[in-house]
Each structure stands twice: as structure tokens, then as C-alpha cells.
Structure 1
Amino acid sequence: MRPPRAPRPSASLRPATTPTRRTGPAARSALPAAALAAALLLAGCSGTADTETPGSTSAKVNPTSARATPTWAPVTGTPQVIPAVRDFRRADGRGWRPSKGARVVVPAGEKSNVADEAQRMARDLGLTVVYGDQTVQPGDIEVKITGKGGAQQANNVPVQGAADEAYTLTADGTRLTLTAPTDAGIFYGTRTVKQAVRAAGGLPEGTIQDRPGRPQRGMSLDNARKPYTQDWIEARIREIADLKLNQFQLHFSDDQGFRIQSDTHPEIVSADHLTKAQIRQIVALAGSLHISVVPELDSPGHLGAVLAHYPNLQLRNAQGRVITGAIDISNPKSAPLIDSLLKEMSELFTNPKGAPAYWHLGGDEYQALMSSSPATKYPQLAQAARQKYGPNGTIEDLTTGWLNDRQKTVEAKGKNRIEAWNDGFFSSPRVSPDKNRMVDYWTGKEGGHRDPSSFLREGRNVMNFNDEYLYYVLGEPNQFVYPTGQRIYETWTPLVIRGTQPVSVPASMTGPDRIPGARFAIWSDRAQAQTQAQVAAGIRLPLAALAQKTWDPRTPALSWTGFKALADRV
């Protein structure tokens, strides 16, 4: 077991002079010195942006003399960012570049809810931050909240929909203004500025009005079969934040490992695991970057690492053979074990007050239901189902009841956005999956699985995990192939939930309120097939393509060749 490290302050609490930690070649937290130098050179400047430490806080007074208007090479074309902005209205002018002496101006003050976003952008660009009543000068960036409550909003206001993530950027007369209804929108605007400077040196003259097409956009990581380091995970969180993705799912328990420290059941924890202190740091970093963490403790299948220490709770067939990873849900001691873990882990993954509190129940690939004759092979489950649901009760009913009970456990701990895999949903007149549980649709290839249209027609929301496009399975077992960014970019949309064709339902069922988005999933089935560095390299372009297609539903303007070249620059 690795000793816990002292918790680090989240990005929003660190001093502006603290550099953002970077790990690995794919982690691009700050603008490279070469890119900044090039931008300054184009702006007609040399050296660093200021004599102060980049990102430091200046005095709250107006400067004694106004800076001269910078002369720089015009920024032409459209904003060069991923995902592409939804709307850009061009105007006449030279555009904006980060020039020497330029500042990030926060009229609402250093205690406002956008101060941390301003400090982060200043660090990214090598600028300084000033607060209060300032004269916005040539080269400056002014940052303002325009929504209800304005600067009095709490920090990291919970985002309820795409409108809360919108922002406006205006480059006018060598000045840049960033406004948004929430600090999440401000954050996404700062990502646009950072990428535009990296790719093109700045932003062209005009106004950007931008917002996401789908409110939930993210990645999922199987940390159970293959342990990933805290540094690697945090680097990916920073990477997806720059792409304006806003969810990170962590699958931390499976047959091969239980990867988070447990105080209630220390015996189940794998040697290579994350401590609770490390998880808190990961959650804090994600929150500071407007990313929700979605924890997943899968049951009643995929519990091999837990059940290795509780052999009496393992599911056995009629011949007494142990079914790897499956818990016997007819055993009265099974539920208390899993509930104790759910309670402990749910307390670890905290959420800001009022924010969506996610939890993933798993529910997939319960081996008892993958048999051609479940009742014959697992008579103890069939008997328990009849006792609970009457003479016609089935093992599917018993499984649905199990997941409903686990949902109640995490809801009692404050979780209010509950998800499960699509093969954990069953139709029955006796018991139904909780109506508020979202369907995470990953496969329709196995016998008996329902089409995503059936879930939408019965009123359920469906998250897109289409394994045809969005499953990066290490070692490519079971006919999986590594997905490519090009295929996602050119042929996938959030409506392509199963196979390669859009789901066939009325348009009223395909909006962001019903299909809220998608996640790109990394599964570690053959853990040694790739190193952490190889995984990071392999998922870089697919994540960029996912970001583009979930942000803007329209056909992208860039060809794949152009998009790939841009991804290499930003």
C-alpha cells in the first residue's frame, strides 16, 4: 500500500504564482514557452509578458499611464480551437493577441467566483491579473459574469444544462471581453482563448457565441483491471477539461482488483491502489475544472476482487461450480457487504451543494442471466425470486430488485443521478428498474439485449457508450478494435447509440434532455497490452473527436486532415 500524501489545494485555491503540474507528453496544462514567445513576437514584443511572475496579482489601482495600442500581425480566419466554436461573427480589425504587459481584468474583484478562472488563464498565457475598477487597455482580457446573481454567485455554480455552459468572447479594438452566465461558461471561454493562442497566436476580430450541444460529455476509465497512477489520471482530467468535456467516470472495482483504500473492508483492497487522500485530490482537481466524477462500483457481477475474500457469497451453479465475479443475490449476507462499500465510497466522492451527484451501479454481465436456462442452472436464485415476487418471479426480477435496493443505498448518501449499463435493465410486470435510473447503452450485440429505441420510448434517458465507436479495449479481445478519432469524427453522432445508424425514434426523443451525451470508455481487459503512455497516445484523437461531435451536432467544417493537424497544435 502506498502511503497517503498530504492533500493538495485545488486549483481554485492555489496562489496564482503556483505552476500547474504537468505529467507526460499529452498533458498540456500551460501554454508552452515557445508558443507564448511566438505570440509575443507577432504582437511586436519580445521577452516575457511582464516583469512580474506570470499569473501574479497586481495592485488594485489604475495604472499611472495607459499602454500604447499594440501593433501586431492580424489574426485571420476563424478561431482555431477544439471543439470548434458554434458561432463566430467576423468584424474588421487586427484581432487580439497576448501582448507584453497585457492583463486579465476582473471587475468583480479577487473574491468573486471567476477569480480562479482568471488566475488559471493568466498562468496559461503568462499574463497578470488585476481586480476591481480598472481601465481596460489594449491587449487586456476582461472577464465578467452576466447571469443571475452576477459576481455574487457561489464558485463552481452547479450546471443544469447546456445554457449554463455558454459563453461569449469579443475581440474588439485589440481588447478581449469574456462573459458568461456562470463560472463554468467563463472556464470554457478561457479554454477557447488558451487553444486559440496555442494554434494561431490569438483570436480574430469579432464575436464568438458558443455553447455545447449535449450537456454531458466525458470519458470513463477502468482503473480496476489496470491500475493507473494519480498523475496519469490527473493529466487526463486536465486534457479533457481543455476539450470542454465535463465528466470523468471511474470504474474502480472488478474481478482483477479493488483500487481504492477501504477502511471498512481493508482485506479486499489491491496492493496497487489509490488512497482516499489521492481520490479526494482527484475529485478536487476535477471540480476545479468543472468536471463531475462518476464513481462506479459494479454489482451483482464483476465483483471478483471483493468475493475472493468472501467465498461463501460467491454464486454457484446447480453443480456447485463457482461463477467468477458473480455474487449470490439470494444470500441474505450479500447485500450488507455491498451496501457497506457503497456507503463508504459514496462519502469519499463528494459534490458541491446543489450539484448533480452521480453514481454508477454497474448491473452488466451478471453471469446467471447470460445462461440459456437461468432457473435450471441457478435454482437458489429462482427460488428466491418466487419467494419475493410470487410464483411467476424470475431471476431478472430478483436482479432488478437488487439494483433498486443498491440505488436506495446511494441515494440515502445524497447521490441523485444514478446510472446502470443497459444489460442491467429488464421488463417485467412484477418489478421495474427505478424510473430515475439512466441507461448507459454500450452494446446490443448479445442475445436478448434491447434496442436503445425501446428505452427512449418508455421514457428513459440514454447515455451513449456505443461500443462500436467509443470502447477502447486494451488488447482488442472479443473482436474489439481500437477506435479511431477519424471514424468518430466522420461517421458517429450522439444519436448513433447502437451499431452505425442513428436511433430510430421521433425527433422529440433525441434532444439533449433525452440523450444527454456520450462518454469514451477505456477498458483494461488485457492490462499489459499497452503502457499508460500508449493509452494516453491512443485516446488523444478519439477524445478530441468526441469533444467536437458532442459540442456541435452539425457536420464539422474541417476535414479530418485539417482537424488532426489542429489537434496537434492545440
Structure 2
Amino acid sequence: MIPEPVSMVAAEGAFALGADTLLDAPAELAGVASWLRTTLRLPLAPGGGGVGLRVDPALGPEAYEVRCTPERLEITGGSAAGVFYGGQTLRQLLPPQALRRAGPVGWAVPAVTISDRPRFGWRGVMLDVARHFMPVADVLRFVDLAAFHKLNVLHLHLTDDQGWRLPVPGWPRLTEVGAWRSESMLGARQHARFDGRPHGGFYTAGDLREIVAYAGERHVRVVPEVDMPGHMQAAVAAYPKLGNGFEGGVRTGWGISSHVLNLGDEALRFCRDVLDELCELFPSELIGIGGDECPRDEWGGEDRQPAFTALMAEHLAARGRRIYGWDEILEGGAPAGAVVAAWRGAEPTTIAARSGHQVVSCPDISVYLDYRQSDDPGEPTPVGTLLSLAEVYAFSAVPEGLSEAERELVLGGQANVWTEHMETARQVDYMTYPRLSAFAEAVWDAPGRSYASFEARLPGHLERLDALAVNYRPVSGPRPWDARPDAPGNPRELQDRLAELAEMTARLDRSKLA
């Protein structure tokens, strides 16, 4: 079972789960009960029967218990979310064929008592739909797979230099122009290869509401992100008046554009309009404003970003929201109430916590799932440092040396799926699984977890991923058809990346480490 439960005690016998099984659930669990009926492909008729769903607040919000005897199967959670996680555990107690959408139904559930709870409240995964647009159906499937692993946050990266995926009232050219590019780069940018094929797409307001509702039914909160004031070439291509003299198209190459917002009155109004629309479409308290990798060239070298970040934080606060930004927002002082996504190695998590900010740990060298999985020449477009399955499993969200109060500020961890080199859902599957399975166990973080145990359980879990039609990377290595000789990569050595990260984070206040 992945993630491994805190406690699991097997007993004799099994419970027969079939078409005549009755389901007993209170009204507050109607959503979970409906989901369970659908996912098990069983009627589970309402009544005082053999399956019971219960809420017991004494357990804690996301904790749950599964008690299965030959006579009864009961799932109790500290909230509806806890009951939902118990239902996901039930799915893993069944044979893999129970996860398929067709075939026989009715299974024996082994008698067992499971008591379980996560360590962290933020168990997230970021999906980049800006570099390569992912249709709604693929996003919903991505949510289903994350929820199957008991992840509870989807950070949706909606805009970047290479594409704008969000409609904003009053700014129609964002999707008419900014959502489309003339071609895409093939492989790492050092090779300067292009495919010559237009690419693009965007979500309607209805699409985004559907994603939010679907995720919410699976107890996944969606945190939207529109990157600002940098990573804005798509917006400036649509509205040159927002920029600093640039008049060109949506960026076709990877990497960071120097074409940023000018931060004049019109650009500030634009940003507020964007944030207002995010608040309309997404109920999340946190709204992502990015804030990373913003060149200052077009500002004459002046650093206008801290003042800009403070203005956006003030605007969101007036709507009862808070900003969520990459750790660059710490440079010059992040606004009070900001939540930091600490990505530039492990150090920014420590600095954020010691600065009094809530922080989500997502260091690139540990949880960036676009990074290569091995040194095998058959890996598709190998970029970044080596990030094997075992190295993802070894991730720890809380750095050593923090005080108890500082550790409480670490909300959890997040894996990031950047899609420059993932044009399709099939390629996202290959780069994401089973590494995201390992990450899910790392942030569930049951006491005593070990990679040896995970490795022993993984073959059975891969059978589940097969049943769910996931194009995961085999443990034995890439298959011949996984390779991308037309899209060469740029592997990096860890020591080189660590030196680069030290230079990138030089503007952070290391005095807070003392």
C-alpha cells in the first residue's frame, strides 16, 4: 500500500463486497458515498448494511480508520477528507483489476484494522499547463491520480512566457494572442531546435470551475498561479502597452524572457484585474503570483519587485486572500501573511521559516519531476540533475536545525511538474510516475518509513498503475520508444547546480540561519 499507513494489523477472513452490499452513510458524507459507489462500480444501496462511513472529529481532519471483519467494513474519518482517504485505502486493499473501468465486480476485502494519518497538511503537486497546454480531461485524470496517492493540493501554473491559459474579462487578447505560439523548442534550449508546429489553448471560466469542483470532490484544493511581474512575455505579446517597448510574439523558446511588465499604472491595473478573476474562479485562500526569475534589465537594473509584491499582497488581502509565491519574494522582504514556495535548493525553506513565513518545501534538486531519472541514454530529453526514484523518496520537507516553532511553519512539500519537454499526458505520466508515488509517501511520512519497504511494495503498486492506464517509467529503465533523439537534453551535475543555487540565493538574508 502506497503511501504506507501508520498502522496496519491483518486478521483472519474477508468481507464479501458485492452488488447486494448495503451502504450506511450520514448526509454529510453523501459526496464521499457517491464517489465510492462510482469508483467501485457497485450499487452499494443505502441502508443499514455491511459498509459504514462515519465521521469522528476526535481523529483529526485527515486521519482515518478502516476496520474490516467478515461481517462488516467500516471507514471512519476525522472529516469527509479522512473518510475519502480511507476509501482510497480500500481501493488498494482490492485486487488491481478492481481499479479498471470494466470487468467483473465484487471482491473479497481482507480482514484488517488500519489507523492512519498524514504528517503534513500540504501534500502538493504543481502542474505546468503554460509550457504545454493540457486539455481539461487530462487535468481531471491528473487530479484523480494525485488523489489516489492522497495528495491534497494541485498548484496550477496557468501562465508563462510561452503561453497564457486564463481568460480575463476586459483583456480578450490574452487568449486570442497570448494563448498561442508559432512553434515550440525541441529539447533543451542549448540546441536551438524547433518543431515548426503552432501550439496553444486556454481554459474557459467554465473549464476552470469544473476543474476546481472535480478536485474538490476528491479533497484536492486548487491553488492557481499567474506568474508576475516576470515570465510575462505572452501577456506583453498580447498587450505591448504592458511592457517596456517589446513588440513581438509569444516566446517559442524555453528559458527566461527579459520582457517583463513595466509596472506602470496600466500594468498594475492589469495585474489587479487578473487577481480579481482568479479570486472569482478559485475559492483557494492562497493565490499564486509567481515572482520568480524576474530580470531587471528593462527596469534599468532597478529592483521594483518588492514594492510590486507588496501591492499585490495588499490587493488580495482586501479580498480575504493571501499570496503564494516562489522564494524570490523573500528578497527585499516578503509581505506579512505570504506563503513561500521554497524551490532554490533546501536553504530557502530554512530562511523562510526563520523569517516567520509559512513555507512549502519544493527544492528543485529533490522534487522537480522534469529532471532526468537516470543516466541511461534512452531517457527522453534528459535535463537537470539526476533525480532517481530513491532520491525522491528521500525527500524531507523539514530541514534540520529548525526550532519547534519554525518547524510548525513548514506546511509540507510539493513536487513540481514543469512541462517544457512533456507535450502529452503520456509523457507527463512517464516523468511523474512512479516518482510521484514515492513523493506521496515521503509527505504522508508515516513513522519508520523506509525505501526498502517502499521498494518491496512497489511492484504491487505498479500493477495498480497498469490498471489505471498510467504510462509510468519502468523500474528497469526506459523502453526504446521512450527515447527522444529529436529532442536532446542538457544533463547537469549536482555540484554544478548547487554552486548555481548558492549564487541565485545570494540576495536572501542568511543571517536568519544563525
TM-score normalized by the length of structure 1? 0.67
* Number of the residue aligned with 2:292: 364
Q: Secondary structure at the match of 1:443?
A: coil
Q: Secondary structure at the match of 2:124?
A: strand
Note closer, same or farther for the CA distance 1:414–1:518 as it changes in structure 2 (3 Å cut): same
Displacement over 6 Å in runs of 4+ = 474-478
Alignment partner of 1:525 out of 416, 420, 423: 420
* Number of the residue aligned with 2:7: 87
Structure 2: runs of 5 or more not aligned = 99-106, 181-200, 247-255, 373-379, 465-514
Q: Distance in 1 between matches of 2:299 and 2:84?
A: 53
1:439 matched to 2:439: no
* Number of the residue aligned with 1:273: 202
1:564 matched to 2:497: no
* Number of the residue aligned with 1:247: 153
**Cα shift at 1:147:** 2.8
Equivalent position amino acid for 1:245 in 2:
L
* Number of the residue aligned with 2:391: 487
1:124 matched to 2:24: no
Note closer, same or farther for the CA distance 1:479–1:535 as it changes in structure 2 (3 Å cut): closer
String of CA shifts for 1:258-300, please: whole Å, max 9, x gaps.
1122332111211511111111111110111111000001111
* Number of the residue aligned with 1:552: 445
Q: Secondary structure at the match of 2:123?
A: strand
Q: Secondary structure at the match of 1:506?
A: coil
- Percent sequence identity is 24
Q: Distance in 1 between matches of 2:142 and 2:22?
A: 29
Q: Secondary structure at the match of 2:39?
A: helix
Q: Is the 8 A contact 1:94 1:174 kept in 2?
A: no
Equivalent position amino acid for 2:2 in 1:
I
1:346 matched to 2:279: yes
Equivalent position amino acid for 2:111 in 1:
E
Alignment partner of 1:286 out of 215, 218, 223: 215
**Cα shift at 1:553:** 4.4
More helix by share: 2
Alignment partner of 2:404 out of 490, 508, 527: 508
String of CA shifts for 1:490-544, please: whole Å, max 9, x gaps.
x22223xxxxxxx242351564x32111111111234xx5432111232121111
Alignment map for 1:256-335 (pairs within 5 Å): 256-269=162-175, 270-271=179-180, 272-315=201-244, 324-329=258-263, 331-335=264-268
1:541 matched to 2:434: yes
Q: Secondary structure at the match of 2:363?
A: coil
* Number of the residue aligned with 1:56: none
**Cα shift at 1:345:** 2.6
TM-score normalized by the length of structure 2? 0.74
* Number of the residue aligned with 1:238: 144
Q: Distance in 1 between matches of 2:446 and 2:345?
A: 24
Q: Distance in 1 between matches of 2:328 and 2:446?
A: 28
Note closer, same or farther for the CA distance 1:484–1:235 as it changes in structure 2 (3 Å cut): farther
Alignment partner of 1:141 out of 36, 51, 65: 51
Q: Is the 8 A contact 2:118 2:443 kept in 1?
A: yes
1:420 matched to 2:325: yes
Q: Secondary structure at the match of 2:287?
A: strand
Q: Distance in 1 between matches of 2:354 and 2:320?
A: 29
Q: Is the 8 A contact 2:19 2:44 kept in 1?
A: no
* Number of the residue aligned with 2:309: 403
* Number of the residue aligned with 1:165: 62
Whichever of the two has the greater Rg, that structure is: 1
Q: Is the 8 A contact 1:103 1:127 kept in 2?
A: no
Note closer, same or farther for the CA distance 1:90–1:524 as it changes in structure 2 (3 Å cut): closer
Q: Distance in 2 between matches of 1:326 and 1:478?
A: 29
Q: Distance in 2 between matches of 1:440 and 1:477?
A: 26
Q: CA RMSD in A?
A: 2.7
Q: Distance in 2 between matches of 1:218 and 1:423?
A: 20
Equivalent position amino acid for 2:414 in 1:
R
Q: Distance in 2 between matches of 1:464 and 1:117?
A: 30
Alignment partner of 1:101 out of 15, 20, 24: 20
Moved more, 558-567 or 545-554: 558-567
Q: Secondary structure at the match of 1:178?
A: strand
Q: Distance in 2 between matches of 1:378 and 1:177?
A: 62
Note closer, same or farther for the CA distance 1:123–1:494 as it changes in structure 2 (3 Å cut): same
Equivalent position amino acid for 1:406 in 2:
M
* Number of the residue aligned with 1:194: 91
Note closer, same or farther for the CA distance 1:461–1:277 as it changes in structure 2 (3 Å cut): same
Q: Is the 8 A contact 2:339 2:360 kept in 1?
A: yes
Q: Secondary structure at the match of 1:263?
A: coil
String of CA shifts for 1:26-67, please: whole Å, max 9, x gaps.
xxxxxxxxxxxxxxxxxxxxxxxxxxxxxxxxxxxxxxxxxx
**Cα shift at 1:359:** 0.8
String of CA shifts for 1:298-321, please: whole Å, max 9, x gaps.
11100111111332432479xxxx
Note closer, same or farther for the CA distance 1:555–1:538 as it changes in structure 2 (3 Å cut): farther
String of CA shifts for 1:414-469, please: whole Å, max 9, x gaps.
424x2110122124xxxx42121111011149xxxx64322222222221111012
Equivalent position amino acid for 2:324 in 1:
E
Q: Secondary structure at the match of 2:336?
A: coil
Q: Is the 8 A contact 2:65 2:113 kept in 1?
A: yes
Q: Distance in 1 between matches of 2:257 and 2:90?
A: 53
Q: Distance in 1 between matches of 2:286 and 2:68?
A: 38
Note closer, same or farther for the CA distance 1:192–1:478 as it changes in structure 2 (3 Å cut): closer
String of CA shifts for 1:77-120, please: whole Å, max 9, x gaps.
xxxx21111112344x21334245223222x3xxx021221222
Equivalent position amino acid for 1:95 in 2:
A
How many residues are matched?
415
